[in-house]
Amino acid sequence: MSIVKTALVNCSRCGKEHEITIYKSINVADDAAMKQRVLDGSLFLWNCPDCGAANLARYECLYHDPDARFMAWLLPFERVSEAEMQAISLHAKALGAYTLRRCADVGELIEKVRIQDAGLDDVAIEICKFVIRGELEQKRAKESDSPAVDPKLLHFHRQDRDGLSFTFPSGGQMTSLTIGRNVYDDALGIISRNPSLRPEEGFVQVDSVWLSTRIR
């Protein structure tokens, strides 16, 4: 069941205060439309009635897909207690083998849902992103106009017959690049040989920082 509340927020442009609807938790099995609103980001956007500015609403949201046995907890602030996190982790464990992930921003949440929908391993995806960044850095060393990539802004986009595509902002617009499926398969092989690359139990934030503590 989804938990809906209201919150008072200020417009980023005009500063006027307004009451908006926020979603503390959503169950996409109960409301499939919610999933699309997560994927297109509209669940976290609101328009100011006074000036019309589009604003990003930053709030905690627990995304639950019981069919996929997947939960992703969007926690843009550090206000959640360890007791609360432990309680939800234990509840998920009681329901069966769940994948639990913690996300710091909406972009991470969208990416985790896309990875889950594609049936891919998010640790392997992080390894693929590590490889991509390395190749782009080498290219940038040779070509000064080659784009730099912020690790936090490089995201998995989709999987198709050509391979896996990723996006990142460059020069004021989104850039897309595709890697072969073999890179992902190699990443799975690395994980199988290194148990330390398997996330621990509970809500783990599997991202570039997490991977950097396990790959040298």
Q: Taking all residues of the chain, what is their mean pLDDT, rounded to a whole number?
A: 92
Could you tell me how far CA 80 lies from the centroid of its own chain? 18
CA distance 127 to 179: 12
pLDDT at 58: 94
pLDDT tens string 37-77: 999 999 999 999 999 999 999 999 999 999 999 999 999 98
CA distance 102 to 76: 10
Nearest to 150 by CA among 124, 132, 163: 132
State percent of the chain over pLDDT 90.
75
pLDDT tens string 133-148: 998 888 877 876 666 7
Tokens of 46: 């609101």
pLDDT tens string 201-216: 889 999 999 999 998 6
165 secondary structure, DSSP code:
E
CA distance 16 to 88: 36
pLDDT tens string 156-176: 999 999 999 999 998 788 999
pLDDT at 79 over 90: no
CA distance 84 to 205: 16
pLDDT at 119 over 70: yes
pLDDT-based confidence at 152, cuts 50/70/90?
confident
CA distance 171 to 34: 32
State percent of the chain over pLDDT 70.
97
